[in-house]
Amino acid sequence: MKNNIIKALLTLSCLVYGSGGYDNGTSNGKGKFKIDLTWNPLNKLEFGQSYAILSYGLTNKLDIHGYISHHPGNYNTWYGGIFYQFLDTKRLHLATAVGIRQRSNKNWKHIFLPQLLYTVNITDKLYFGGSFVEVRDLKSFNKYGLSIDIAMFYQLKYNSKIIESISIGIGGFHPATWTPDKFFVPTYSVDFHF
């Protein structure tokens, strides 16, 4: 069973091109670690990114989170921040966050503020979530725009002593500075909760 899940995840990551956002309004829980992965194979899509998002629950409501992303223009960006879930009902989770993003080959930093992150639970295995994030220049505080992220996630029937759950998500992402004729670019992620 484990080998079949691993083969399916590898096949999926080779077939689907990824880009964009990742987050939702559900905290990890105290002492829990989560990693979300997306791969843009061979940088085939000009808007695609390969990235790893990491988050860790300091308390049941407060996480530290961040990402490292590789872009097709052969540069990297990183983000680090703090996340707080302020609403936790059976169907709806809401959170806010603040963080800083930097590009590796340029001298710029952005602050992500304000942020509203959400999760809507459809069933115990199916949910959708995303975020609304204002991107600003860190020095001048000038607005670049609003990034929007929405995705549908399905939690697979898998757990082990180390991995609590694996979910697959597909969705759309609108970067703050996006100008092409499509409002959203397609996204996907494979999420591991430890």
CATH no. for residue 189? 2.40.160
Give the whole-angstrom CA distance, residue 192 versus residue 194: 6
Tokens of 35: 């990693």
> What would the pLDDT profile of 37-69 be if each residue is shown by its tens digit?
877 655 555 656 677 889 999 999 999 999 998
Asked if residue 12 belongs to a domain, the reply is no
Range of the domain at 44: 23-193
Asked if residue 89 belongs to a domain, the reply is yes
- How many domains does one find in the chain? 1
Asked if residue 11 belongs to a domain, the reply is no
Asked if residue 115 belongs to a domain, the reply is yes
pLDDT at position 23 is 73
Asked if residue 162 belongs to a domain, the reply is yes
Give the whole-angstrom CA distance, residue 170 versus residue 163: 21
H-helix or E-strand spanning residue 51: strand 50-57
Asked if residue 5 belongs to a domain, the reply is no
pLDDT at position 47 is 58
pLDDT at position 92 is 97
Among 17, 36, 68, 10, residue whose Cα is nearest residue 167? 36
pLDDT at position 74 is 81
Q: How far is CA 32 from CA 61, 140, 192, in A?
A: 11, 36, 11
pLDDT at position 50 is 78
| Weakly modelled stretches of the chain, pLDDT under 70 | 1-22, 40-49, 178-182
Give the whole-angstrom CA distance, residue 171 versus residue 6: 22
pTM attached to this predicted model: 0.80
Asked if residue 3 belongs to a domain, the reply is no
Asked if residue 1 belongs to a domain, the reply is no
Secondary structure class of 157 (helix, strand, coil): coil
Among 40, 1, 34, residue whose Cα is nearest residue 20? 40
Tokens of 160: 């082990």
- φ and ψ at residue 126, rounded to 5 degrees: -125, 130
Among 62, 14, 59, residue whose Cα is nearest residue 41? 14
pLDDT at position 181 is 65
